[in-house]
């Protein structure tokens, strides 16, 4: 549904986004993670055709995001990270205006979502709304739009816990309805809860894309203490990789089938064993934690 | 339809300011006509001495130095200056059209239209021109509301067209509110040969064209900038430079051409109402041309530019 190839955006000599190539599949929830300044919003704005890529390209449903941005925006609804709404308008008037820009469809659903689900009083002026209420209003509109793609930039940042749950529920509903969702956020547990795949960005680069289903199904971590020296090499067919080696102790990551692993363990002089899994935080910390892996690009 | 939707929102957001400005113009027109009526059909009071002949007022606007104030009325007259048509001459009405005529025969239309040269009218029209243009793009980016519209399926050209349309409505309303004030005045004040509504149209067009021209040259700056204040200051700078060019050209004959660089050179509400010559309509077209060219330049700049986020 969304494809970027070598997408780059530079401001003078400063590269805000560097060589991002990714594919967001139709009907999936794609989490976009990274700290402030990592290039998430710039990438999103290039997808919407609000920013022109310095090089590379982005396309939604086959339409080039810069040259055919109108076609793209017909298919996409966007919730900005920092929602700013004209205060003089009443809630209902604003929804009416936004719907009129999309041909008038979706107003009833937007009103219903705003009033019944989000609990807003649409007869009030927007300037009397709190930040969270404004975000709810914008969310109601985004979820009501009859589009193929929803791009939500930090959609829960100003919301209370119950409203956050409502939003996560609406994201799940959107996926069920076949919509593609880009969910950019900082709350890892939320992204973990809703995303099918997660991309981690760092300093404008796409560092890693993780399939969350695959991860939940197949990823396990093993902490092994051997009687004596652990083996130098591991059988390739087991899909084991060493995360840490410390004397008799090996910390391994396993992504393969369980049967062959158990057989191999049985043949090894293992003194002790712990098997666990990993949350998104651990993955995120590999790129943004205190002991984050640095690569050649970071050292440049 | 999208153009109208966006233009309606733009106008809706400024409706109170626009209503206030229009009401001020309307009220000023009433006051202006009161002054005209007072001049044309002055009712003598026993304390007042008869007014001097109009021709004498031009050469001797103030009381003669040899004249001694004898009572309160004459002291008051000396302080305020004598009522007369010189104020209209100062606002662009040719002297030969009002001076030397008996007051009750002075042409009402020309004296009314001279109001379009009043500094307050200039101030409001220039303020609207610069203010609206700087808010159109830079202001919207600055307050973060441009995303709201442009993340929807709206062409940038449509957005720009809506801004131009809203500007036309604003300056049309301002011009018409003056005309309405003049028209309504006929009901309250005695005026010599009250003009018909159509007579005011050249003045309305001229006033609107001046505002649109100022809007037109400020808009491309706004369309390529991120700061509303910066766009406004540059627009104000161009406007002040235009006034300076006009003064400079009148001071130095060799540099008369600098006047042609000023939009004020092409603004002649009295002349166009008075004569309506092809030259004056050409001037009006130049003002409208500046608006159109500015709109086109703004569109080109806006279509190619990046629209960063409000937090960026």
Comparing CA positions, the residue from A284, A278, A233, A286 lying closest to residue A255 is: A278
Kindly list the residues from chain B whose CB atom is less than 8 angstroms away from the CB atom of residue A142. Answer: none
Chain B hits for A78, CB-CB cut-off 8 Å, are 147, 151
Please check whether residue A134 touches B, CB under 8 A: no
Contact list in B for residue A73 (CB cut-off 8 A) is 151-154
Tell me the nearest-neighbour CA distance from B306 into chain A, angstroms.
5
Domain for residue B91, yes or no?
no
Nearest CA in chain B to A78: B151
For chain A of 300 residues, list the mean pLDDT of each consecutive stretch of 10: 92 89 93 90 93 94 92 93 86 93 89 91 92 92 93 88 89 93 88 90 89 77 88 85 87 86 88 84 79 67
Q: Considering just the CA atoms, what is the radius of gyration of chain A in Å?
A: 23
The residue among B151, B133, B180, B101 whose CA lies nearest residue B295 is B133
Q: Do A84 and B12 touch (CB under 8 A)?
A: no
CA-nearest of A79, A84, A184, A195 to A129 is A84
Q: Given this model, what pLDDT does residue B72 score?
A: 66
Full DSSP string of B241-291: HHHHHHHHHHH-GGGGGGGGGSGGGG--HHHHHHT--HHHHHHHHHHHHHH
Give the gap in angstroms from C-alpha A177 to the nearest C-alpha of chain B.
Answer: 21
Question: Of A41, A80, A98, which is closest to B152 when you measure between CB atoms?
Answer: A98
In a domain, B96, yes or no: no
pLDDT along chain B (312 residues), means of 10: 92 93 96 88 61 45 48 60 72 83 86 92 96 94 89 94 96 96 91 90 96 96 91 95 91 88 92 88 95 96 87 48
- Strand, coil or helix: B232: helix
What local confidence, expressed as pLDDT, does residue A78 receive? 93
Residues 54-73 on A with a CB inside 8 Å of B are: 70, 73
A96 contact B CB<8A: no
Under an 8 A CB cutoff, do B152 and A102 touch? yes
Among the partner-chain residues B12, B153, B306, the one whose CB lies closest to the CB of A74 is: B153
CB-based contact A41 B309, cutoff 8 Å: yes
How many helices (H) and strands (E) chain B has is answered by 15, 0
Query: What ipTM was assigned to the predicted interfaces of this complex?
Result: 0.81
Does residue B166 belong to any structural domain of this protein? Answer: yes
What's residue B38's pLDDT? 84
- pLDDT given for residue B282 in this prediction: 93
What beta strand segments (E) does A14-130 contain?
14-24, 29-33, 55-60, 63-64, 76-79
Other beta carbons within 10 angstroms of residue B127's beta carbon come to 16
Residue B239 and residue B233: Cα distance in Å, rounded? 10
| Residues B2, A97 contacting (CB under 8 angstroms) | no
Largest CA distance in chain B: 77
Going B159 to B162 to B163 to B164, the CA torsion angle's sign is positive
- Tokens standing for residue B155: 């062409």
The candidate with the shortest Cα–Cα distance to A125, out of A92, A99, A103, is: A92
- Give the E-state strand segments of chain B in sequence order: none
Task: Please say whether the beta carbons of A154 and A185 come within 8 A.
Answer: yes
Q: What are A128's two structure tokens?
A: 């009397």
Angle at A293 between CA A289 and CA A298, to 5 degrees: 105
Taking an 8 Å cut-off on Cβ atoms, the answer to whether B152 and A52 are in contact is no
Instruction: List chain A residues with CB under 8 Å of B309.
Output: 41, 45, 80-82
Structural domain boundaries of chain A?
2-214, 220-276
Could you tell me if A51 and B306 are in contact, meaning their C-beta atoms sit under 8 angstroms apart?
yes
| List of chain B residues whose C-beta atoms are within 8 Å of the C-beta of residue A70 | 153-155
B120-158 confidence digits (pLDDT tens): 999 999 999 999 999 999 999 988 889 889 999 999 999
Total domains in the fold of chain B: 1
Does residue B46 fall inside a structural domain? no
- What CATH architecture does domain A2-214 belong to? 3-Layer(aba) Sandwich (3.40)
- Please, what is the angle between helix B156-188 and helix B15-40, to 10°? 30
B148 in any annotated domain: yes
Tell me if B79 is assigned to some domain. no
Element (H, E) at B56: helix B54-59
Q: Are A51 and B308 inside 8 Å of each other by CB? A: yes
* Residue B151 C-alpha, separation from nearest chain A C-alpha, in angstroms: 6
Task: Report residue B74 as tokens.
Answer: 């004459």
| Beta-sheet pairing, A205-211 with A197-202 | antiparallel
Q: How many CB atoms lie within 10 A of CB B109?
A: 21
Please report whether residue B67 resides in a domain: no
Alpha-carbon torsion angle A191, A195, A198, A204, nearest 10: -60
A27 burial type by CB count under 10 A (0-12 exposed, 13-18 middle, 19+ buried) = middle
Owning domain of residue B246: 14-31+108-304
Report the greatest alpha carbon distance in chain A.
74
In sequence order, which residues have a C-beta less than 8 Å from that of residue B121 and are 6 or more positions away? B25, B28, B115, B178, B207
Question: Which of A41, A48, A82 is facing B151, going by the closest CB pair?
Answer: A48
């Amino acid at each position: 549904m969304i494809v970027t190839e070598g997408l780059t955006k530079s401001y003078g000599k400063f590269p805000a986004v560097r060589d991002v190539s990714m594919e967001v599949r139709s009907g999936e929830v794609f989490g976009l993670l990274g700290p402030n300044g990592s290039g998430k919003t710039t990438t999103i704005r290039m997808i919407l055709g609000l920013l022109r890529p310095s090089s590379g390209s982005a396309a939604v449903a086959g339409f080039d995001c810069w040259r055919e941005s109108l076609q793209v925006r017909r298919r996409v609804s966007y919730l900005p990270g920092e929602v700013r709404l004209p205060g003089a308008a009443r809630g209902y008037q604003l929804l009416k205006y936004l719907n009129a820009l999309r041909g008038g469809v979706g107003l009833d659903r937007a009103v219903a979502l705003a009033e019944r689900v989000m609990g807003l009083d649409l007869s009030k002026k927007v300037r009397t709304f709190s930040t969270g209420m404004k975000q709810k209003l914008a969310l109601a509109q985004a979820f009501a739009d009859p589009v193929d793609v929803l791009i939500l930039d930090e959609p829960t940042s100003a919301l209370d816990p119950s409203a956050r749950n409502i939003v996560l529920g609406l994201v799940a509903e959107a996926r069920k309805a076949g919509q593609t969702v880009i969910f950019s956020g900082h709350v890892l547990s939320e992204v973990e809860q809703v995303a099918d795949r997660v991309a981690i960005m760092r300093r404008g680069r796409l560092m890693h894309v993780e399939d969350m289903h695959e991860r939940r199904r197949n990823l396990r971590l093993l902490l092994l203490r051997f009687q004596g020296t652990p083996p130098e090499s591991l059988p390739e067919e087991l899909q084991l990789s060493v995360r840490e080696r410390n004397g008799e102790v090996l910390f391994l990551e396993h992504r393969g089938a369980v049967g062959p692993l158990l057989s191999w363990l049985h043949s090894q002089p293992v003194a002790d064993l712990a098997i666990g899994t990993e949350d998104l935080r651990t993955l995120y910390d590999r790129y943004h934690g205190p002991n984050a892996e640095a690569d050649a690009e970071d050292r440049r | 339809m999208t153009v109208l939707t966006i233009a309606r929102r733009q106008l809706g957001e400024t409706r109170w300011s626009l209503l206030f400005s229009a009401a001020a113009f309307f009220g000023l027109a009433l006051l202006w006509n009161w002054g005209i009526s007072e001049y044309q059909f002055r009712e003598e009071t026993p304390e007042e001495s008869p007014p001097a002949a109009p021709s004498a007022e031009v050469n001797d606007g103030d009381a003669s130095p040899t004249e001694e104030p004898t009572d309160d009325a004459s002291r008051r007259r000396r302080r305020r200056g004598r009522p007369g048509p010189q104020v209209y001459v100062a606002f662009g009405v040719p002297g030969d059209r009002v001076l030397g005529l008996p007051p009750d025969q002075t042409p009402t239309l020309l004296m009314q239209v001279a109001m379009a040269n009043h500094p307050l009218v200039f101030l409001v029209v220039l303020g609207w021109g610069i203010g609206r243009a700087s808010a159109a793009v830079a202001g919207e980016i600055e307050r973060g509301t441009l995303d709201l519209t442009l993340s929807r399926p709206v062409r940038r050209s449509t957005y720009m067209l809506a801004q131009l349309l809203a500007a036309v409505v604003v300056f049309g309303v301002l011009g018409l509110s003056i005309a309405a004030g003049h028209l309504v005045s006929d009901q309250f004040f005695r005026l010599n040969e009250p003009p018909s509504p159509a007579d005011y149209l050249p003045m309305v067009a001229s006033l609107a064209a001046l505002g649109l021209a100022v809007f037109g040259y400020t808009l491309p700056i706004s369309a390529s900038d991120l700061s509303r204040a910066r766009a406004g200051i540059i627009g104000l700078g161009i406007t002040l430079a235009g006034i300076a060019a006009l003064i400079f050209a009148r001071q130095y004959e060799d540099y008369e051409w600098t006047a042609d660089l000023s939009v004020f050179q092409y603004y002649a509400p009295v002349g166009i109402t008075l004569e309506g010559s092809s030259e004056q309509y050409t001037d009006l077209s130049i003002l409208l041309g500046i608006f159109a060219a500015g709109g086109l330049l703004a569109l080109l700049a806006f279509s190619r530019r990046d629209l960063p986020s409000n937090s960026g």
